Amino acid sequence: MDFSRFLILPGIQVQNLASKTLALNLKRLSTDWLAVYRHPVILTETFIDHSRFTGTCYRAAGFVPLGQTQGFGRNAGRYYIHGKAKTILIRPLHQKTKQWLSAPFLSPALLEGNKYQALADINQLAVDGSGGLMERLDAVADPRMRNGIRHGNAVVLAIAVCAALSGAHSYLDVGRWADTLPQNILKRLGCRIGQKERRYVSPGEATLRRALQAIDIEDLCRTVAVWLSDQGLENAATAVADRLQALRHRARKDTTRRQYPSLAGGIRT
């Protein structure tokens, strides 16, 4: 939520009014955001211009200072230097905010507003490394022609499987989920560096769709089921197999889309 001003006029004298008003707004912020945008808010931020304000009410409401800006502003989509450093303050809205934001993959708690819920927390699963999903998917035959292949078969399938575990029910869902992955996760999954972008890029929705339509879906489902079962998630193994089967047979023009909040820039491994 973006307020351009939070101001109580000097003539109003009510004890703790500012911090109380902030606290009441923050108490319902995540619920309101979930109702409108279909995902919760777990961290909020603001800034203080110390040439005009002290920010006492924010500190009283539980905000914590992070540091100062470099004195840039933005106008009409462009940044310019105004020379006035401001202090950035944040306030977690949940006791697990730090844990969720530092997790490699989006926590199911951040997908709370989705119609289709996550089947498992990918952060608790072995995705890479010995015996991980990537290693097991290497054994699934790649039906694609070598000419023009950009991402490895295991990379594409791993993203599709993880997206399905996170609640994806359509190709657009899978593509959207892949778009939310930050650079360190794309590198970890073995994604390529785009020649134009000069950064790691995820497979596009069309690539993910073609791969799932061409793959031996029974082989893929068996491989994923064994991987999940080895981690004690037999129920998730059955559910994700059903989801992958249904996803494969969806129409090409699938317009179903769910919200996946992007945490790029805030996620650490």
Proportion of the chain above pLDDT 70, given as a percent? 88
pTM higher than 0.75 for the full model?
A: no
With beta carbons less than 8 A apart as the criterion, state whether 256 and 91 touch: no
Other CB atoms within 10 Å distance of the CB of residue 54: 9
Q: Looking at residues 222-242, what average pLDDT do you find?
A: 91
Q: For position 263, what pLDDT does the model report?
A: 45
Q: Which residue has the higher pLDDT, 261 or 20?
A: 20
Q: Which residue has the higher pLDDT, 4 or 258?
A: 4
Q: Looking at residues 34-56, what average pLDDT do you find?
A: 87
Indicate whether 132 pLDDT > 90: yes
Mean pLDDT taken over the chain = 84
Indicate whether 186 pLDDT > 80: yes
Closest-CA residue to 261 (of 113, 126, 141): 113
Q: Looking at residues 191-218, what average pLDDT do you find?
A: 89
All structural domains of the chain with their residue ranges: 17-94, 103-248
134: Cα separation from own chain's centroid: 20
Confidence class for position 54, pLDDT limits 50, 70, 90: confident
B/e letters for 221-245, b = 16+ CB within 10 Å, e = fewer, are: bebbbebbeeeebeebbebbbebbe
Confidence class for position 83, pLDDT limits 50, 70, 90: confident
3-state secondary structure of 61: coil
